[in-house]
Structure 1
Amino acid sequence: MANVKFNGEGMTLVGKILNVGDSFSDFTVTTNELKDFTLSDTKGVRIFLTVPSLDTPVCNMEVKKFNEEVAKLNGVTCYTISMDLPFAQSRWCGNEGIKNVITLSDYKYRSFGEATGSYVKELGLLARNSFVVDSQGKVTFVEYLEEITNEPSYGKVLEAAKAAK
């Protein structure tokens, strides 16, 4: 387990903490169409973002920024995983014009949170983390933010995605 902060208060991350060079762990999440979705449903270079809730200011800003930036990258797919219900994710994406980021929900199994050490025990939500995975399934970039309310290192995530093969 690792520790993070939420508004300065200590929280506990549950699950497997990933490091660069690790194989990305399998998971099962739910699509906006209420279908199961696993690692084998992905391919190529992937950015995986975990956020507490799309319907909060920092998460909203983060996903919009990645939606804009990923459109400029060839062969890179970006997934944002939260505990938001699939209905809420779908509605949020429609309202915000999100077309280049795929939203997935971990509400049902908590599998992604545990596979990536992103599940916040005290909140029942996912922490704000970023992972880049190459086409062979190896982790090439990891960012566990110490403070959940902070923004990710956009440039570092995008550079890692550009460099991955």
Structure 2
Amino acid sequence: MDYDSLNKKLLDAAEKLALIQPRNAEEQAIYGFLVGASYGLRETINFGYIDGTGDKLPSDYSEQLQKLASALAASGDLDNDKWLAGFYFNTALQRLSPACERLGKYIGKRQDLIPNTRKEVNKLKHEVSGVLSGRKVTIDEALNSLTLLVVAAEVILKSEQS
């Protein structure tokens, strides 16, 4: 995985995002989701995300989770970069989906600009095994979703400000 190109894509989106100036509670809510998704994707990259679902799920995943739970119980460090990368990836996805929905509601049009990301989030929320059976959305696709939503926010919020 080319983390440099992923980081460049993230920085490009973040630079555009930094120029948006929300003016009201609705815009702040949308903006907050986009900032949160950006942070989640940054940490996903920083922790060296590699998909570990489906046939890539480690055979000792339950033991890894138990170690993490024990570290939490002891107020210790979560010394598992792979798990943290996945945690931040899920966090980013769970912010992209409502950001998209709220952008549509803000202008009175419900458009599914990021259908694969939304479906992945629904799988996380509603399926008993979540995405452990296998992911469909890659980090590159999540970054594309972020970029698309940031551009949409630029256009929508600028047109609303006119």
TM over 0.5: no
TM-score (ref. length: structure 1): 0.28
Structure with bigger strand share is 1
TM-score (ref. length: structure 2): 0.29
Structure with bigger helix share is 2
If you compute each CA radius of gyration, which structure gives the higher value, 1 or 2? 2
